[in-house]
Amino acid sequence: YDTFWSWLDIRDRGFEPLAGLAIAFVYLAWRFWRQPAMRRPLGTAVLAGALAWSMTAGTLALMAPRGASLPSIPLAALDGSPVALPAVLQEADRPMVVNLWASWCPPCRREMPMLEQAQQARDDVSFVFVNQGESVDAVETFLQRESLSLDHLYRDPDMTFGREVGAMAMPTTLYYDADGQLIDTHFGELSRATLDRSLERFDP
């Protein structure tokens, strides 16, 4: 990576969970031993953190597993015409990256220019942007305000597609091979390094 700080970027998997847990355990043991008065509040904090972690893990477990097929749930183009992503995939005959987003989502807004650049640079991969639950006016206003030009931009007005793939929050990015099989999922904001690493799966 380019800088030391990128090693610590969770989006780039710079954080190693097992090492982090081991260090946290050693630190907590030291605090419990050195500061008996802090045992109760520290114990409460640990239990709260464990509960939050388990809820996050449960959410990720509900997401579509690898190998799942690209859903055929109808989406809507901005002109109102119906669109099914398997048909888009078949016509393009190349791998597909599906980004679920909304204009009110700050991480979605931050990563969108990078995804626009990737769409323009990679003609061997189809980038699809599926807006979750917003009106045509809201989507068009966002595109104009941010000066974005995106191909394959569709709406999921009832968020049915999002529920089908198990996207509990946004942004969520799904990677499908040319046969429409899910090969990778990213939950949360993408960095350029994370995106590039995932796209390497599609390289010859």
pLDDT along the chain (204 residues), means of 10: 50 50 74 76 73 51 65 96 96 96 96 96 96 97 96 97 91 96 93 91 82
The answer to whether the CB of 94 falls within 8 A of the CB of 70 is: no
Asked if residue 82 and residue 22 are part of one domain, the reply reads no
Sequence-ordered alpha helix ranges (H) in the chain: 17-34, 39-61, 85-92, 106-121, 136-146, 160-164, 192-199
Which amino acid is residue 13, in one-letter code?
R
CATH of the domain at 115: 3.40.30.10
What's the pLDDT score for residue 189?
Answer: 93
Longest CA pairwise span in the chain (Å): 66
Asked if residue 98 and residue 37 are part of one domain, the reply reads no
Which range marks the domain in which residue 84 is found?
75-202
Asked if residue 103 and residue 180 are part of one domain, the reply reads yes
What's the pLDDT score for residue 44?
Answer: 80
Asked if residue 139 and residue 41 are part of one domain, the reply reads no
Which amino acid is residue 171, in one-letter code?
P
As a dihedral over the C-alpha atoms of residue 140, residue 144, residue 146, residue 148, rounded to 10 degrees, the angle is 80
Complete DSSP assignment for 84-130: -HHHHHHHHTS-EEEEEE-TT-HHHHHHHHHHHHHHHH-TTSEEEEE
What's the pLDDT score for residue 107?
Answer: 95
Name the pTM for this structure: 0.71
